[in-house]
Homo-oligomer: A and B are copies of this chain.
Amino acid sequence: MDFDRKFLERAVDLASESIQLGGGPFGAVITLVGKIISESGNRVVPLKDPTAHAEILAIREAAHKLGTHDLSGCILYSSCEPCPMCLGAIYWSGIKKIIYASDRHDAAKAGFNDNDIYSEICLDPSERKIIFHRVKIKEADDVFIKWKQLENKISY
């Protein structure tokens, strides 16, 4: 039995179901030691939440179920290559393996901006379409000093 294929097909099924539910055509599954611990379709429009991508919702559910922000033993299966937001979330979660079917170019052909956002994120802030304006204030430095001096802190 090809478990990777089985879990990836489940992610694709969720992508298809997501369309019926008013979401975008994306689905994701997270497994731990060969068992599904969370899954979701895209819910941006139904939840009116721009962050409600399938991978983000699956990561949040997995973290809730496991009782930790650290998902480093998990595998993520996604119907499509994760966008930069979801990929950032994957790095923060500690997930080390991603299996996916479609890629950012397939998503672009279906009208999604993943590829453009990858291009923007890799530019210097001054070259992006979004305005980035830095204002240095001393209090911001003080916050990091306070953090560095804090004992027994839980890092992530």
Chain A residues packing against B (C-beta within 8 Å): 4-5, 8-9, 12-13, 15-16, 19, 22, 24-25, 44-45, 48-53, 56, 59-60, 63-64, 67-71, 79-81, 83-103, 106-107, 109-111, 113, 117-118, 120-122, 125, 129-137, 139-144, 146-148, 150, 153-156
Given the known interface contacts A67-B48, A69-B44, A84-B87, the answer about A101 and B59 at a Cβ–Cβ threshold of 8 Å is no
- Is the Cβ of B91 less than 8 Å from the Cβ of A141? no
Please, which residues of chain B bring their CB within 8 A of the CB of A5?
Answer: 135, 137
List the B side residues contacting A85 at CB < 8 Å: 84-89, 91-92
Q: How far is the CA of A16 from the CA of B137 in the complex (A)?
A: 14
